[in-house]
Amino acid sequence: MTINVSTAELRNPRYSENLFACLETHGVAPQHIRLELTESILAENVEKKQGLLHRLDEMDI
């Protein structure tokens, strides 16, 4: 399953936790998720995005 992620969603410091909770609620394994990010999203505030991407990776997303 692919999820398009907006800049506004990534600005939420709890995005990864909210995503994981949603996956658990609906019985979706994190390994079955692929996030679709644009280059412009990643170019904005790179240091914060690296932390988020690391947390998502630890969750196997």
Q: In this predicted model, what pLDDT tens digit does every residue of 13-50 receive, in sequence order?
A: 898 899 999 999 999 999 999 988 877 776 666 676 77
Q: What's the confidence (pLDDT) of residue 6?
A: 84
Whether residue 4 is predicted with pLDDT greater than 80 in this model: the reply is yes
CA distance 21 to 38: 24
Q: Structural domain boundaries of the chain?
A: 2-58
Give the pTM. 0.69
Q: Write the Ramachandran bin of 36: left for phi over 0, alpha for psi from -120 to 50, otherwise beta.
A: beta
The pLDDT confidence band at residue 11, using thresholds 50, 70 and 90, is confident
CB atoms within 10 A of CB 10: 20
* Six token digits for residue 12: 């939420």
List the alpha helices (DSSP H) in the chain. 7-11, 15-25, 39-43, 46-58
Q: What's the confidence (pLDDT) of residue 2?
A: 92
Whether residue 52 is predicted with pLDDT greater than 80 in this model: the reply is no
Tokens 């196997």 belong to residue: 60
